[in-house]
Amino acid sequence: MSPFTQYEFDDAQRMAGGVVNLDRVIKTYAPKISEWAFDRAQFSTRGGITIGLLEGQVEYVDGKRGKVSLEFEKDGETWKVRSSGLEE
């Protein structure tokens, strides 16, 4: 995750602490993916930040198909998810 997204996630966990198990909510309500394959990768630098983009196809457990995209940001030696998208 990007630093901003990680901050927002941590903040949500702090606010929901003891009331909602955020990890369980994400696992329960996130789309159920059976398979994905990436057929496009692109890397660039924006404002001194290395960005990676993966795009491809996704299949859900119910048989529906769609598109998937993941954008990463390099933080030192670690790649963190910056954004993601799933479409049917």
Which residues are within 8 A (CB) of 58 and not within 5 positions of it... i.e. 6 or more apart?
A: 33, 35, 36, 65, 66, 67, 68, 86
Q: Is the pTM of this model over 0.75?
A: no
pLDDT (mean) for 16-21: 59
Asked if residue 23 has pLDDT above 90, the reply is: no
Residue-level pLDDT at 16: 56
Residue with the bigger pLDDT between 9 and 83: it is: 83
How far, in Å, CA of 59 to CA of 36, rounded?
A: 6
More confident residue, 26 or 80: 80
Segment 28-82, tens digit of pLDDT: 767 788 888 999 999 999 888 899 999 999 898 889 999 999 899 888 888 888 8
* For the chain, domain boundaries: 1-30, 32-88
**Tokens at 55, concatenated:** 């795009």
Q: What is the pLDDT of residue 80?
A: 87
